[in-house]
Amino acid sequence: MKKLNQIISQNPVIYIGGVLVLGFLLGWLVFGGSSEPASLNESHEHTSGTVWTCSMHPQIKVNTYGDCPICGMKLIPLSNVDKNDEISSDAVVLSASAIKLAEVETSLITKRIPNKEVVLSGTVKVDERRISELTAHFPGRIEKLLVNFTGQKVQRGQVLATIFSPELVTAQKELLEAIKYKESNPQFYLAARNKLKLWMFSKSQIDTIEDTGEVQFYFNILSPAKGTVTKRNIAQGDHIMEGMSMFQIISLDHVWVEFDAYESDISWINLGSNIDITLKSMPGRVFKSKVAFIDPILNTDTRTTVIRAELDNYDEKLRPGMFAQAAIQSILSNKEAIVVPKSAVLWTGENAVVYIKEDHGESNLFQYREITLGADMGSYYVVVNGLEAGDFVVTNGVFKIDAAAQLKGSKSMMNSGKEEPFVVHANMNMK
């Protein structure tokens, strides 16, 4: 031992070199000797039929282990269930724990009468047929004004103002003169009488002038209808010209309620459809009416059309401008149709996609399915093509299933399969 220590102290370099050689030799014996069998085992595993893919590019599917030709990452094996010939390559298989974690729920597809509650917003409007515009039929001067503000309620035949008109005085004198020639020249007499009629003199007023033989210097302007004065364009002492608008009177005992209906709702609304109307100013009260008018012209700015209902308003509690809401219970067709919940549908931009749960033994299998949708029923869509009664569609967790399909490289919302996927053949040099 002393002799060995003496040799080491005299030749340290030789000692260190010997230790290194001995270490390499032992490492080769321990690790290097089994490298060939390990390589054989790995090669056998990599060629045993496993399909390999890239976790970042699931469209890569090869039969040999290696690197992804796109990003260079190591490939990972696909689930062995993908090799089952009985299961479609587009199907997604989830374990029971994965389904619970994704909170997957399904619903049974059934047939039903396609109906919908169309909810519309609108306002109370004036019935345009009950607007009276009072204009001057002859020139004159306002001597007395009995309606002094807008909003004042008036009765039919009520005096609104008194007017003096020199032309009116002349016309009355012509009538009194024509009476003298009533027998000899009846046409002259009738022309003078009709002139006053055209100036809105009533028959009784004209008869009074003939009976008394006196000229009236002031003429009363009478209200043509019962209602509310909404415009007053004259003041006391004003000079008016023929054709000038003096008053506007609106009767509010009958009103319109107009709603804006979007394009998607128009097909659900028909003339005569029952409509329930509620107003914020009268909570708890529901007014029953029917659709009386559908505007044939669509507003290109708002993409809506006007739907009108009519209501009696004898107590005048409905005021134009009030906000209103309508509910229309509509049936698109009396024929039953297949419907699908909206929560089950994924939109790809061009197509609608759902996932169908299929019975495949103990496997939880979900199949990608493209469908054609019809009318919007609110919480449901009418299905034109792609589903049948009795199918089970995923209504909750559908995005998570689609994400699993994307990772798997199967058909999904992002990959409809219409474009040729990037495929690497087994004999390609993946480097």
Share of the chain above pLDDT 70, in %: 80
Query: What are 129-133's contacts with CB under 8 Å, separation 24+?
Result: 130/225, 130/227, 130/250, 130/251, 130/252, 130/253, 130/254, 131/248, 131/249, 131/250, 132/224, 132/225, 132/227, 132/248, 132/249, 132/250, 132/251, 133/245, 133/247, 133/248
For residues 250 and 223, the answer to whether their CB atoms sit within 8 Å is no
For residues 371 and 356, the answer to whether their CB atoms sit within 8 Å is no
Predicted local distance difference test score (pLDDT) of residue 43: 42
**305 and 363 both lie in a single domain:** no
* Residue range 42-57, pLDDT digits in tens: 444 444 567 777 756 6
Predicted local distance difference test score (pLDDT) of residue 413: 78
Predicted local distance difference test score (pLDDT) of residue 396: 92
Predicted local distance difference test score (pLDDT) of residue 64: 83
Spatial separation of the C-alpha atoms in residues 15 and 9, rounded to whole Å: 9
HSE of 105, CA atoms in CB hemisphere, 13 A: 7
* Residue range 301-347, pLDDT digits in tens: 999 999 999 999 999 999 999 999 999 988 887 888 999 999 999 98
CATH number at residue 344: 2.40.420.20
Predicted local distance difference test score (pLDDT) of residue 88: 66
Domain that holds residue 307: 118-127+252-331
**134 and 213 both lie in a single domain:** yes
Q: Six-digit token pair at 111?
A: 């047939």
Predicted local distance difference test score (pLDDT) of residue 200: 76
**136 and 244 both lie in a single domain:** yes
Spatial separation of the C-alpha atoms in residues 58 and 403, rounded to whole Å: 11
**207 and 295 both lie in a single domain:** no
HSE of 275, CA atoms in CB hemisphere, 13 A: 29
**135 and 241 both lie in a single domain:** yes
Residue 344 domain flag: yes
Contacts of 85 (CB under 8 A, 6+ apart): none
Run of H or E residues at 338? strand 337-341
For residues 234 and 246, the answer to whether their CB atoms sit within 8 Å is yes
**223 and 184 both lie in a single domain:** yes
pLDDT less than 50: residues of the chain: 28-47, 80-85, 420-431
